[in-house]
Chains A and B, each alone.
Chain A
Amino acid sequence: VQPKPYRLIVLGGGSAGWMAAAGLRRLLGEDYEITLIESDEIGIVGVGEATLPHIKLFNDMLGLDESEFMRETGGTFKLGIEFRGWFQAGESYIHPFGAFGEPWRGVDFQHYWMRAKQAGKDVLPLQRYSYSVQLARRDGFHFPDNDPQSIGSTFSYAYHFDAGRYADFLRRWAMQRGVQRIEGQVCEVLHDQDNGDVRGLRLKSGEEVSGDFFVDCSGFRSLLVGDALQSPWQDWTHWLPCDRALAVPCERAGELTPYTRSTAQPGGWIWRIPLQHRTGNGYVFSSSFIEVDDAATALVAQLDGAAHAEPRLLRFAPGRREQAWRNNCVAVGLSSGFLEPLESTAIYLIQAAVIDLARLMPSSGSARADPRLAAEFNRLFGMHYERIRDFLVLHYAANERVGEPLWDYVRAMPLPDTLAHKIELFRARGTAPNYQFGLFSRDSWLAVLEGQGIVPLSHDPLAEATSLEDTADRLAKLSARIEGRLEGVASQAAFLADYCRPEHARGAAA
């Protein structure tokens, strides 16, 4: 007897819904039937246009062709994020998706750099010792070198893309592989009377869609996990006071920068995300510190080119659900929580949830979702959110923008203990946090700790096993290798123009 398929219902389109549908279609067997419900009337938030390098693993898992993907989504390459004015006005640093120097004798690079600097040697700024920062500053791009000895291998890359187009691209991918799509708006959630599980959804059309397991990608509304199942909300506004964003696309102009730009403002910060066909912009701000009209004026004044529309206002609250998985429902994406897009983590959080969910998904024959699996999913979900939260808060807490009320507030606010400890350790000896699971890497922490102007008082004494002269010599050679590799490197604009030609696509080449 053929067992009846296990019915997965994904509620909501957009990047979260289609990433979940496509990812689960790829990872689960044919005994899972996947249906996605989306409404043409409900818009998608669609500001998650900047990503982290992990997205490449997700796309590779689906088997997407990179050139085709970039063409379809108007994608550009991203080597990191530039933070302008975060430490103080006029300062700028890049958080690269790459290393600073190389570890020598098992000791992290920055300790040698600090030691030489503290001893009065003539050293360059830390940013000059990161290949990916320098590649980004030249608006260049190439794929990481295969030879691990090459300094040109010490980075990875992500993308900027049009999130709406990405969702469309994944929709086509998923529907070609059997994911069913229902157009409609949910008006009622139907529960099992005995155990409270969700059994089905009633649509405005009167249609009832029943399922065994539900993935809630309904965005800020959080229809299932938030509304129907009442997973409590943990509010983080006291650490991340921004609660509004204005988003506006504009005409592309100037050099095609291979990085996201984040510029600090009196009431928050402005993002700039260059795509092939337009530039995405937005002002993330705190309604306690700036009026929306003033924010709109500041945003429009900073655009590279003509605005494509009026700025669109989004409201949000920073924080997360206590549990993303309750009963037989898992929230993925904005329905599970929100962190401002300062470090482009929204799409990563979706991806991590999809991968964890595939591993912990109820077996196709099971009668009910196993609370032991939910507990593990929720533990991982909490870890992901809290690690990112600490990293974001760091950008605000360490600032010298004295006299601006928002910045004065975040400089003085009590920090999460886990973050305060990391900052103190860096200040004492320049050691950057290093852990195995979740975001962010040691190099990322280093980039932001140093970039935000925290000056270590000392360095790891193990670095002194190398003499000061040898250290200075190696630093000089390192920067020479970086400069050497950068010679003649193509601009990202030129690289993309070539790479995105249709004949580059795998299918066309055959």
Chain B
Amino acid sequence: MTHPMRVIVVGRDAPLWLAAASIQVALAKSGVRVTAVELPSALQPNHVYMSLPPIEALHSKLGLSEEDVLRMAGGTFSLGQYFRGNSEQQAWFHAWGDYGESIDGHDFFDCWLKASRLGLNVPFADFSLAAVAARHGLMLAPDDAGGLGQSRYSYHLPSQAYCTPLKAHAIRSGVAVQLATSVAPEVSEDGGSLKAIAVDRDAHRLEADLFIDASGPEAVLADSLTGSDREDWSALFPADRMLWARAPSAATHGPYCDIRSGAGGWTAMVPVQSEVRVLHLFESGTTVNDQALADAAAAAGVGLEDISIGSLSPGIRRNLWNGNVIALGEAASGLDPIHSASLHALQLGIVHLLSMFPAGPDYDAERAEYNRIMRSSLERIRDFQSAFYQLAPHEGAFWDRGRAASPPQSLSHKIDAFRARGVIAPMEDESFAPDSWRSQFLGSGIMPESWPPATDRVAVSRMQGEVRRMLSSIKAKVVEQPRHDAYLAQLCRRRAA
């Protein structure tokens, strides 16, 4: 064995445990030894992790069961996001899954586009069984949803509680743990790599072959090396502050994240078991904290408790893997929270690190490939998120700032192609599926000017018949779905029993 054997993960909270456990589980048999150096948590009791659907695959690779995660974290399912503005026209549901079914080999979306031009007045989201179920407070059970709208779901996970099973699992898997109140990197003479870290003012000195920085925005290891500069994306994203709060649960909540846009920013109501967590984004230049709190409370419609305010700075580290240090999660990139992609970005970092884990003592090629693919993946997420602000139909200085940014060329190309023809220009390394892009573009008020001419080969009567059949099939299927809260309760009980 010649590949690096000793890996130190320095960090906190979910990024620390997910990274350490993933490497340990995948590579222990290859002789890799993982030490997690745990810094004090940065989490507040009001925080919540919002995932994207692929997190389930990461959990299952680790051997974590869904029931355990949801029960111990007090988490819930999410089938997507419900966006609302000031009017009915500004409301749309972004379901994680697909929409509709193809008609005689023609993409459903193209058919929907043409049918809409011919007078069909049914929103795109009404062809997603998941979206319809979620709006009715129903869960789309994974097994029995063949055909129309397969069940793709994510989780809302109260952050502190989620870390408990993660940490226990990492330790069970063989990760060694070192507690630390502080960590000081010992940098090589040329500044290009780490020799060791000193824990708690030299109480311990730990050496390793590879260091992973999962310490969040502090980037305690990554920032110590030369070439640690960041590319600033804040021009694309108007918010620089986020307010977290808790709200009592007035009623049961559907399996989705409820997002309302107001003049000063947007507010997400995130249901977890037993309460709602609230996240409000705003810009400190135009909105003072008290006003932001008032805005958040007004959007939530209830009094808020346990308020905290943090800052965010969107951007990406130029060298995500620099020397022998790999920055993961928020140490690598700051993403806007609008599409719940932060945990997903962490997962991408872990997955690509595993597939590019050094095979020998020299790993320039692996590092170059990792940096290439991560950069591309994060830019595609940036584009998707940036489109939300670029195209937002809302009024107010916050939204004006978002619209004023000049979009990346890859995004303006995508917007143009959609506007002209309804196509989503295919690009490598996308995290959001074409139907997610379509959903967001439509929700932002773009109606494509034409459809692929091949769609005209489907007879209008055939198209109308299929559209009616899909709608009635969704209507029939949706009533068979369980209520979200009942489904959750049963799932958690089953395991506990």
Contact = CB atoms under 8 A, between A and B. Distances in A.
Contacts of A425: 365-366, 368-369
B355 A462 contact: yes
Interface in A15-60: 27-29, 31-32
A400 B137 CA distance: 67
A204 interface: no
A28 B453 contact: yes
A458 B417 CA distance: 43
Interface in A425-442: 425, 427-429, 431, 435-437
Interface string A367-397: 0001011011001100000000000000000
A131 B354 CA distance: 29
A366 interface: yes
Interface string A398-438: 00000000000000000000000100110111010001110
Contacts of A359: 421, 423, 452, 454
A429 B30 CA distance: 15
Given A370-B420, A373-B420, A435-B428, A361 B453 contact: yes
B43 interface: no
B366 A376 contact: no
A464 interface: yes
Nearest to B458: A29
Interface string B418-434: 01110101111000000
Interface residues on A, range: 35 or more
A457 B420 CA distance: 49
B172 interface: no
Given A461-B357, A462-B355, A464-B31, A376 B365 contact: no
Given A379-B425, A424-B364, A425-B369, A372 B416 contact: yes
A359 B360 CA distance: 46
A32 B453 CA distance: 9
A360 interface: yes
Nearest to B110: A359
A429 B3 CA distance: 11
A460 interface: yes
B495 interface: no
Contact of A437 (B360, B426, B452): B426
A180 interface: no
Contact of A462 (B26, B360, B363, B421): B26
Most buried by A among B32, B356, B423, B454: B454
B413 A457 contact: no
B454 A27 contact: yes
Contacts of B363: 428
A425 B360 CA distance: 12
B2 interface: yes
B417 A375 contact: yes
Interface string A454-475: 0001111110110000000000
B423 A28 contact: no
* Interface band, chain B: 35 or more
B421 A373 contact: yes
A427 B365 contact: yes
Interface in B395-426: 413, 416-417, 419-421, 423, 425-426
B454 to A, nearest CB: 5
Contacts of B427: 437
A366 B368 CA distance: 46
B467 to A, nearest CB: 19
Contact of A372 (B32, B354, B420): B420
A4 B273 CA distance: 62
A29 B453 contact: yes
B228 interface: no
A288 interface: no
Nearest to A467: B29
A364 interface: yes
A34 B230 CA distance: 54
A150 interface: no
B2 A379 contact: no
Interface in A462-495: 462, 464-465
Given A29-B456, A32-B453, A429-B359, A421 B3 contact: no
A428 B370 CA distance: 14
Contact of B413 (A379, A460, A464, A465): A379
Nearest to A27: B454
Interface string B360-394: 10111110110010000000000000000000000
A437 B29 contact: no
A459 B356 CA distance: 10
Contacts of A300: none
B365 A424 contact: yes
Contacts of A458: 2-3, 359-360
A223 B29 CA distance: 62
Nearest to A365: B450
B419 A372 contact: yes
B453 A375 contact: no
A31 B456 contact: yes
A465 B29 contact: yes
A29 B421 CA distance: 17
Contacts of A307: none
B359 A376 contact: no
B457 interface: yes
Contacts of A427: 365
Interface in B19-33: 26-27, 29-32
B457 A29 contact: yes
Nearest to A360: B421
A189 interface: no
A429 B361 CA distance: 12
Given A364-B453, A376-B425, A428-B362, A462 B369 contact: no
Interface string B10-51: 000000000000000011011110000000000000000000
Contacts of B2: 458
Contacts of B425: 376, 379
A230 interface: no
Contacts of A364: 453
A28 B454 contact: yes
A29 B365 CA distance: 50
A462 B364 contact: no
Contact of B453 (A363, A379, A437): A363
A123 interface: no
Interface in B231-286: none
Q: Residue among A425, A429, A461, A465 with the most chain B CB within 10 A? A: A461
A153 B454 CA distance: 32
A425 B369 CA distance: 8
A380 B425 CA distance: 9
Contacts of A462: 26-27, 30, 354-355, 357
9 contacts: A358-B453, A366-B450, A372-B416, A373-B417, A428-B360, A428-B366, A431-B369, A459-B359, A461-B30
Shortest beta-carbon contacts, A-B, top 8: A458-B359, A464-B30, A429-B359, A428-B365, A372-B420, A29-B456, A372-B416, A461-B30
Given A29-B456, A376-B423, A424-B365, 9 more contacts: A28-B453, A376-B416, A421-B369, A431-B356, A457-B360, A461-B357, A462-B27, A464-B30, A464-B31
